[in-house]
Amino acid sequence: MTWLFLTIASAAFAQSECRALASDAERWQCEVRLGEAAISHNDLPTAERQFRAVLAQSPRHPAALRNLARVLILREQFSAAIPFLEQALA
């Protein structure tokens, strides 16, 4: 239980650190890295939220597009992943 609390606290701190970055590009890259970390911990809902948040601000962000497709594939939502893969490759 303590590990879960520390993980949640660490994620909240990391998100606040991302928001404090000066440029949009730096913030988005930081948010993408948080999403990738969520994937590595098999926290697919958090990862999906991270990538969608980046795409809300930067709809053509290639890493967010690829990683959102990856999350959808891991969740076996293959048809939902296709448009994001197509956009990432365009």
Rg (CA), the chain: 13
pTM: 0.79
Residue-wise pLDDT tens for the chain (90 aa)? 344 444 554 555 566 667 665 688 888 899 999 999 999 999 999 999 999 999 999 999 999 999 999 999 999 999 999 999 999 998
Q: How far is CA 87 from CA 63, 71, 76, 90, in A?
A: 11, 15, 19, 5
